[in-house]
Amino acid sequence: MIVSNLADDFINAEPVIKAIENAGFEAYFVGGSVRDTILGLPIHDIDIATSAYPEEIKEIFNKTVDTGIQHGTVMVLDHGEGYEITTFRTESTYQDFRRPDHVEFVRSLEEDLKRRDFTINALAMTHDGRIIDLFNGLQDLENHIIRAVGTADERFNEDALRMMRAIRFASQLDFTIEMETKKALKKHAPLLKKIAIERIHIEFIKLLLGKNPQIGLRHFVESDLVKYCPEFNNYLSELTDMSKMQSIKLTSEVAAWSLIIHVLKITETNINHFLISWKSSNELITHVQIVIKALNGIIHDSVSRELMYETGLELLLIANEVAAIFNSNLDAEMLTVAYTALPIKSKKDMAINGRQLIKDVGIQPGEKLGQILSILENRILLEEVPNESTQLLKVAKQLMLKLA
Ligand code: ATP
Ligand code: MG
């Protein structure tokens, strides 16, 4: 097979591949970008694999950076672009069912493709679009099948993360998992315990953001992989229900976790614990907490000005996206209009600040100052007072006397 109309990313990388070939080595596009091109999907990050060793790559190009030299990856800088070039390798020693700590460089493309996870990910492409298909990946792509390269049992034993990758590709591409590969998932699911939560987290989110998350979730539950993920053991029936939901369409990680928390009925006080167990960042946790509050408001038809103000437009629209899964969403445009009409969007928009209150009203710095500022903020928001400094100073004076 020859792919015509290669995307610009491939065409721009052509001189790099040609330079490696001119030095007497082989170099190919490999991995997700080749798979996605054949499927007609947009590509992101192209990977290049080569028979040249890292030191040899560094001799060919003037500008290189050792981005992952211990794994055989060198970044070549060309025309302001960076290309990651990885030497063909085998991963011979797997310890503890995790990715190997030791890699062996080889000259053979076949050896390199053999250690890849699935046949659809084990294709290589020359700079002019010729596909090298040593494991029937093209046929599996055509038939929408995820199949381990070689023996699934062995491959999951070598690296248990591949099991999560199998089910995330099932969701992302809406593909079927081949029978032997599927059986091996169930057999080896407990090995997932050996994998760092952060890496499982990444795959799980890709699964939820995929084209068919329901199918991914179904495999997740049926294979028992779910049981070796943080906290999920107590929610098997909820996750099964989720795999039967009508339409799940998510566009961000915050939306994905918010949906999970809503479906699992995790209370607001437990969100923190739950997301920490999944090793989530503080930023993610804060955002999810805000979205869950907004989601409850949207679902219960009580979206106040205060709620919109506290949530902010971006998270408000995410909450609305999650509400849409339950047919409880508001019209996104109307929600945007309502938000935009708020007299202020944050404290920074107030026509008065603490310093002015100290100087012009004579309020002492301290708790009372904060109290007066937040009363003013709320009154501006509810349009009880115009956001205008003389008016606000007047109200501040009254408040000072009242709170004295
Ligand atoms: P994505 O579109 O998510 O980037 P991808 O297939 O490019 O998908 P990457 O994680 O970027 O996935 O990995 C690039 C390639 O490296 C894969 O296509 C596969 O060939 C190989 N690979 C990645 N992780 C593994 C693994 N755990 N075991 C074997 N091969 C792997
Ligand atoms: Mg990739």
Which ligand lies nearest to the CA atom of residue 173 in the structure? 1
List domains and CATH numbers for the chain: 1-143 (3.30.460.10), 145-245 (1.10.110.30), 254-342 (1.20.58.560), 350-402 (no CATH)
Is the minimum distance from the CB of 203 to ligand 1 under 6 angstroms? Answer: no
- Measure the CA–CA gap between 111 and 57, rounded to whole angstroms: 19
Is the minimum distance from the CB of 89 to ligand 1 under 6 angstroms? Answer: no
Q: How far is the CA of 34 from the centre of ligand 2 (A)?
A: 10
Q: Which two tokens stand for residue 221?
A: 């539950």
**Paired sense of beta strands 27-30 and 47-50, if any:** antiparallel
Closest CA relative to residue 263, chosen from 213, 203, 222: 213
- Measure the CA–CA gap between 222 and 31, rounded to whole angstroms: 28
- Measure the CA–CA gap between 297 and 307, rounded to whole angstroms: 8
- Measure the CA–CA gap between 219 and 320, rounded to whole angstroms: 28
- Measure the CA–CA gap between 236 and 242, rounded to whole angstroms: 10
Q: The tokens 């479906």 sit on which residue?
A: 263
Is the minimum distance from the CB of 37 to ligand 1 under 6 angstroms? Answer: no
Q: Which two tokens stand for residue 186?
A: 């169930």
Q: Which two tokens stand for residue 275?
A: 């997301």
Other CB atoms within 10 A of residue 295 CB: 28
Ligand 1, atom 24, lies closest to the CA of 117
Q: Using alpha carbons only, give the angle 294, 295, 298 rounded to the nearest 5 degrees.
A: 85
* Nearest atom (ligand 1) to Cα of 99: 27
Other CB atoms within 10 A of residue 119 CB: 26
CB-CB contact of 53 with 70 (8 Å): no
Q: How far is the CA of 170 from the centre of ligand 1 (A)?
A: 14
Which ligand lies nearest to the CA atom of residue 122 in the structure? 1
Is the minimum distance from the CB of 321 to ligand 1 under 6 angstroms? Answer: no
Ligand 1, atom 25, lies closest to the CA of 117
pLDDT of residue 98: 63
* H-helix segments, 68-174: 109-114, 137-142, 152-158, 161-173
Coil, helix or strand for 287?
A: helix
pLDDT of residue 96: 62
Q: How far is the CA of 163 from the centre of ligand 1 (A)?
A: 12
Determine the residue of 117, 161, 175, 205 to mutate for testing ligand 1's pocket, defined as the one with the most ligand atoms within 8 A of the Cβ atom: 117
Is the minimum distance from the CB of 21 to ligand 1 under 6 angstroms? Answer: no
pLDDT of residue 70: 86
- Written in H, E and C, the secondary structure of 31-95 is CHHHHHHHCCCCCCCCEEEECCCHHHHHHHCCCEEEEEHHHCEEEEEECCEEEEEEECEECCCCC
Q: In Å, how far from its chain's centre is CA 144? A: 23
Distances 216 to 19, 276, 381 between C-alpha atoms, Å: 41, 23, 44
Determine the residue of 92, 116, 140 to mutate for testing ligand 1's pocket, defined as the one with the most ligand atoms within 8 A of the Cβ atom: 116
Q: How far is the CA of 57 from the centre of ligand 1 (A)?
A: 22
Q: How far is the CA of 30 from the centre of ligand 1 (A)?
A: 9
Q: How far is the CA of 37 from the centre of ligand 1 (A)?
A: 15
pLDDT of residue 95: 60
Residues facing residue 28 across a β-bridge: 49
Is the minimum distance from the CB of 117 to ligand 1 under 6 angstroms? Answer: yes
Exposure string of 155-192, with b = 16+ CB inside 10 Å and e = fewer, is bbbbbbbbbbbbbbbbbbbebbbbeebbebbebbbebb
Q: What is the DSSP letter of 388?
A: -
pLDDT in tens, the chain (404 residues): 999 989 999 999 999 999 999 999 999 999 999 999 999 999 988 999 999 999 999 999 999 999 988 889 999 998 889 999 999 999 766 666 666 667 899 999 999 999 999 999 999 999 999 999 999 999 999 999 999 999 999 999 999 999 999 999 999 999 999 999 999 999 999 999 999 999 999 999 999 999 999 999 999 999 999 999 999 999 999 999 999 998 899 999 999 999 999 999 999 999 999 999 999 999 999 999 999 999 999 999 999 999 999 999 999 999 999 999 999 999 999 999 999 999 999 999 999 999 999 999 888 889 999 999 999 999 999 999 999 999 999 999 999 988 87
Which ligand lies nearest to the CA atom of residue 195 in the structure? 1
C-alpha neighbours within 13 Å on the C-beta side of residue 257? 24
Q: The tokens 């009925």 sit on which residue?
A: 265
CB-CB contact of 262 with 292 (8 Å): yes
Closest CA relative to residue 250, chosen from 222, 283, 291: 291
Q: How far is the CA of 117 from the centre of ligand 1 (A)?
A: 7
Q: How far is the CA of 118 from the centre of ligand 1 (A)?
A: 9
Coil, helix or strand for 175?
A: coil
